[in-house]
Chain A
Amino acid sequence: MLRVLHSRAARASVATFINNRSTGALGNARKVQSRSISQVITLTDESISKFKEGNDRVVLYYTATWCPPCKVIKPIYEELSENYEKVAFGKVDVDDCPDAAADANIRSVPTFVFLKDNSPVKEFAGADKKMLEDGLSELSDM
């Protein structure tokens, strides 16, 4: 019960954070690094490179609103973002960010890309919780 509440609070803070960003708050990449609870940051074609450069361990969740498996994995991804403190969690909507999706050569959604020092170390497509956890553990240990 406590955990659920905790998670909701975290999500609320993500929303606040995104709102701040959209009203022009700068330096979000730095902010991500210094956070105490992991959060999922919604990225844009413009903000994605800064996010990748500003964090040494990054996971990117490429998603779309029309994708049924994404609806399944989304809450899991958000929850996992609280458990891996070393990793910066990003979310990229392939329709809102066509350039970012094309740059990463995303062929289907959801696709997860893991980056260490801005280089991809692992990638997979599909709403697979186990693979997501494995990827996050590997990335944390790098």
Chain B
Amino acid sequence: MSKQVVFHIGGWSSCGFYSKASNVLASLSILFPSRLKVVDHKYGSRDEYRSWLIGTSGSGFRDTFGISKASNQTSSPFAWIESSDGGNSFVGGCDDTLAWCKDFCAPKEEGGEEKAVHVDDGHTKGHGYDYDLVVIGGGSGGMAASKEAAKFGAKVAVLDFVKPSPAGSTWGLGGTCVNVGCIPKKLMHNAALIGEILSSDTEPFGFTAPQALEKGHSWEKMREAVQNHIRGLNFNYRVTLREKEVTYLNKLGKFVDAHTLSLTDKKGKVSQITSSRFIIATGGRPSPLNCEGGELAISSDDIFSLEQNPGKTLCVGASYIALECAGFLAGIGVDTEVAVRSILLRGFDREIADKIGAHMEDHGVKFRKGVVPAKLEKNGEGKIEVTFSDGTKDVYDTVFAAIGRSADTGKLGVENINLKVNERNGKIPTKFEQTSVPNVYAIGDVMEGCPELTPVAIQAGRHLARRLFDGSTTPMDYKNICTTVFTPMEFGTVGYNEEDAKEKFGCGSYEVYHSSFNPLEWSLSEHRGKHPAFAKVIVNKDTDAVLGIHYLGPHAGEVTQGFGVAMKKGVTYNDLLDTVGIHPTSAEVLTDLTVSKSSGKSADAKGC
């Protein structure tokens, strides 16, 4: 419940503008007594009013505000709001009062008024440190925050130093997403999609015997093209930082005290810099496989830059990283197996996760369920023999572990500044991205509770920079963030999945509308028909608000992005039905979901 506003209005009794504004205010205070109290300062004549308001040479009431807009006002009414701290804030005349009233009545989203106000971090203009802001970590979030801060005139440095993976991989500026995450993943996923088009679609669409299929896939060519693209991006990031006047330091930072970092460069040379504020944006790194011989496994830090085709591969884990990689490996013809301890894609909609698993199984990925590797050892031929927890064994060329990620805070020297860190996962708890040390902030994967997604880190970094250097109070909105899993059949999702909706709202309080459908582009190919695409929305029965939108099918990222906007604006189920679809597309299914799950009718598409 918001606080009661005490609104003052002064004027002279027969002034029409005063009466109008005063009447509207009086009505509102009757309708919303807990939110609005009106104090009326009514003067009998124009002269009395003016002598109160204007007085003689700067002694009138209007001059107590100390702002020229107030001091220049001569007309009636004169309106202001009383602040709880005793000060007053000037509103204006009749039009300003009516505009304020209109805004007062306008529907507001719950939480929409939340302001992010930081604990005083001691930052002043003449702080005397080397920098206004030093960002530790040049990934998506760190670069976005540093560039945004520099835009507002802050003197900024960004540190980026990649500690080699256990298998020895390193990379350039830009962080996980660009170098060993989203970018190479999506490109290699695309290689698999091209493979599927070649094998499934060429014939029915009139192309015959494509040479590409006979020659097979060249890992080396793909890797080189992907890596070249990434190196181009690395260069562009350096250029952009330079153009935005952000100092880029290829050095590893460690806190000495709350305003000092010791820096170590590639050659081991140590120096120090000081800064008024810091943002920790070091992200995360893959968790190592914790079993005998676990060091023989590679991770997502290594897979995209492998010199050679990984050969027969065991992917350990059932996270989206494990399944995306298994998916593209199988898609380019690699013999791929996934060891799943319990369920696929924990945290995502179960029904859809199971569909993804079934689709992958039919697309060359073997699943070894209910097991984890117990032991890895190199055999005489240089291959890796894996003993599983159920005692079974198999031999692989490559073991790829994607069992989770841990925050990269181990070498930051957090103990030197008494920065609170979650001991379980190394993540840093924050309030509005501010840590327990007021001049140290954290964004992105390293921050506790932050969805581990590049665009989230970017957005949070920009908002934080605006708050720190441009007086903004806008918080980062972590709700309803849309994302896509790039498994062979792509999965776009935003909002609650069915399990979470059940837990949060209770069984009978929501309805699910769903549909299986065959994208038109797939309809000519026999191979494509077996696993139809699928969409579902979860709707609050009371309010009609859409709680979640889930789409399994081609171009899921492109489909889901726009629905992310709709979710942010509070889309209802009727809004979806009221939207005219684009025909023929897959996305249009979301404007035409009429079969409810509770009806018991099949979600399968019917005929033509």
Residues of A within 8 A of B (CB): 64-68, 94-95, 98, 102, 105-109
Contacts and interface: CB of A to CB of B under 8 A. Distances in A.
A109 B239 CA distance: 11
Contact of B239 (A66, A67, A95, A106): A106
A102 to B, nearest CB: 6
28 contacts: A64-B231, A64-B232, A64-B235, A65-B228, A65-B231, A66-B227, A66-B228, A66-B229, A66-B230, A66-B231, A66-B232, A66-B235, A67-B228, A67-B232, A68-B228, A94-B235, A95-B231, A95-B234, A95-B235, A98-B238, A102-B238, A102-B242, A105-B242, A106-B239, A107-B239, A107-B243, A108-B239, A109-B235
A94 B238 CA distance: 10
Interface of B: 227-232, 234-235, 238-239, 242-243
Q: Most A CB atoms within 10 A — which of B234, B235, B239? A: B235
Contacts of A94: 235
B267 to A, nearest CB: 14
A110 to B, nearest CB: 12
Contacts of B231: 64-66, 95
Contacts of B230: 66
Given A64-B235, A65-B231, A105-B242, 11 more contacts: A64-B232, A66-B229, A66-B231, A66-B235, A67-B228, A68-B228, A94-B235, A98-B238, A102-B238, A102-B242, A107-B239
Contacts of A98: 238
A65 B234 CA distance: 13
A109 to B, nearest CB: 7
A127 B243 CA distance: 23
A111 B404 CA distance: 43
A131 B242 CA distance: 27
Contacts of A108: 239
A67 B242 CA distance: 20
B492 to A, nearest CB: 31
Q: Most A CB atoms within 10 A — which of B227, B230, B234, B239? A: B239
Nearest to B241: A102
Contacts of B242: 102, 105
Nearest to A98: B238
Contacts of B238: 98, 102
A67 B229 CA distance: 8
A107 B235 CA distance: 9
A50 B599 CA distance: 81
B232 to A, nearest CB: 5
B326 to A, nearest CB: 28
Nearest to B234: A95
A105 to B, nearest CB: 8
Nearest to B172: A95
A94 B235 CA distance: 8
Nearest to A94: B235
Nearest to B242: A102
A101 to B, nearest CB: 8
A106 B243 CA distance: 10
Nearest to B233: A66
A94 B243 CA distance: 16
Contacts of A105: 242
10 cross-chain pairs, A with B, having the tightest CB-CB distances, nearest first: A66-B228, A66-B231, A107-B239, A66-B232, A102-B242, A94-B235, A64-B235, A67-B232, A98-B238, A95-B231
Nearest to B229: A66
A107 to B, nearest CB: 5
Nearest to A102: B242
Nearest to A67: B232
B193 to A, nearest CB: 22
Nearest to B228: A66
B551 to A, nearest CB: 35
Q: Most B CB atoms within 10 A — which of A66, A108, A109? A: A66
A98 B160 CA distance: 15
Contacts of B227: 66
A107 B238 CA distance: 9
Contacts of A109: 235
A65 B228 CA distance: 8
